[in-house]
Amino acid sequence: MRVRLRDLAESLGLSVMAVSKALHDAPDIGAATKERVRAEAEKRGYWPNQAARSLRSKRSGLIGLLVPDLASPESSGIAGEILKSAENAGISVMVGMPGEKKGGEAAQVKAMMGRGSEAIFILPKISTEHRSLALEAVTQAGLPVIFFQRYPADVGPGRARVSWVMRDMGQAAQLALDHLWKLGHRKVTYLGGHPAERSHAEHWRAVREGARQRGMEMEGEPIMAGLRPEDGEREMEKILEKKSKPTAVICGNDEVAAGVARAILAAGSKIPEDLGVIGLGDGELAKHGPVPLTTIGFSNLGKAGFELWMTIREGGEMKPRVVGCELIDRGSTGKPGE
């Protein structure tokens, strides 16, 4: 932290205020002066002390982002989208990854608010129960909160300054079913995720409804046994031992689908000839896992959330948003029994 406004002011023979205004391109400063100031600032390598700035003014140009981890493609993907949007808008981001330590989330949120964050973005963990503590502190302080992908059960649209962006799981289900239906599949199994997880429950429900409407048979109960590849692998092994088998498996995410694919190949069956697999998310494993996966890709959730906040910041509405999706055919689905 070297050069201050005062240093510039002194060497230019101006007041601190004039320099500040010039750098902010205020309308009441002469063009010639502005130019002189800018040149000097450039020459001496000035950059503003944001701590001092946000102590004084309301806008800090800083947001806080809470992530559960960065290992899963889901969270690192969304986090990356947010960081990119933030850079384009000239906004800085503090990132916190609270561990299991009790009160860790609240502590991180307080640190973010203490540094002047204008909003808190939260990528919740799957279990969203104990979220409320952190949320309490934030909303009490009057900061807007944006949730991504899921949100705790106890917040409703009535709650002050809380909003969220979600993926359209209903559309995702329809796309998958349409695709399979057109190929000729009439019997499918659902292999999903965490039942307490609203978006996954919704996905499953939409698949079941959509299948019923089309007159498609759902083989077996929905299997909600986790979202990791090993979960998919384990459950698929069980399915393969049964007499009655589906012709395709709709998965709750790409990781489960990767595990499913591995189990199918390990059993000596072929994809898509013997069994079709369809993922969700278009992540790394959909492209480079056991087989290239037909999957559902969503449009940019992080960007949508960031834009939602920008709207709110300018006084706009807090209405939650839903982003759409498209089917990406990589050949892990085909006509059944071919």
Whichever of 55 and 153 has its CB closer to DNA, that residue is 55
Under the criterion CB under 7 A, does residue 6 sit at the interface with DNA? Answer: yes
d(CA 13, CA 40): 12
Under the criterion CB under 7 A, does residue 60 sit at the interface with DNA? Answer: no
Buried b (16+ CB within 10 A) or exposed e, 267-292: eeeebbebbbbbbbbbbebbeebbbb
Give residues in contact with a copy of itself (CB under 8 A). 1-2, 45, 47-55, 60-62, 65, 67, 69-71, 73, 76-77, 79-80, 83-84, 87-88, 90, 92-99, 101, 104, 107-108, 110-116, 137, 140-141, 229, 255, 258-259, 262, 284-285, 287-291
The encoded tokens of residue 281 equal: 């998310």
Under the criterion CB under 7 A, does residue 65 sit at the interface with DNA? Answer: no
Which of the ranges 17-25, 149-157, 231-239, 315-323 carries the binding residues for DNA, by CB under 7 A?
17-25
Minimum separation from the CB atom of position 28 to DNA (A) = 3
Under the criterion CB under 7 A, does residue 317 sit at the interface with DNA? Answer: no
Could you tell me the sign of the dihedral formed by the alpha carbons of 245, 251, 252, 257, in that order?
A: positive
Which of the ranges 50-58, 221-229, 311-319, 322-330 carries the binding residues for DNA, by CB under 7 A?
50-58
| Summary count for the chain: helices (H), strands (E) | 13, 12
d(CA 29, CA 32): 9
| Mask for 127-166, x = binds DNA (CB under 7 A) | ----------------------------------------
d(CA 212, CA 43): 70
The encoded tokens of residue 119 equal: 């909003």
d(CA 14, CA 96): 42
Whichever of 16 and 265 has its CB closer to DNA, that residue is 16
d(CA 89, CA 246): 48
14 binds, among a copy of itself, DNA, none (CB under 5 to 8 A by kind): DNA
**Binding residue for DNA, selected from 10, 11, 30, 195, defined by CB under 7 A:** 30
**Binding residue for DNA, selected from 10, 11, 15, 43, defined by CB under 7 A:** 15
Minimum separation from the CB atom of position 4 to DNA (A) = 3
Whichever of 41 and 277 has its CB closer to DNA, that residue is 41
Nearest to 218 by CA among 255, 245, 199, 258: 245
In this structure, the dihedral spanned by the alpha carbons of residues 230, 235, 236 and 237, taken in order and rounded to 10 degrees, is 90
Under the criterion CB under 7 A, does residue 196 sit at the interface with DNA? Answer: no
Angle at 252 between CA 267 and CA 76, to 5 degrees: 110
Minimum separation from the CB atom of position 204 to a copy of itself (A) = 23
Task: Report the interface residues with DNA, using CB under 7 A.
Answer: 1, 4-6, 14-18, 20-21, 23-24, 26, 28-31, 33, 48-49, 52-53, 55-58
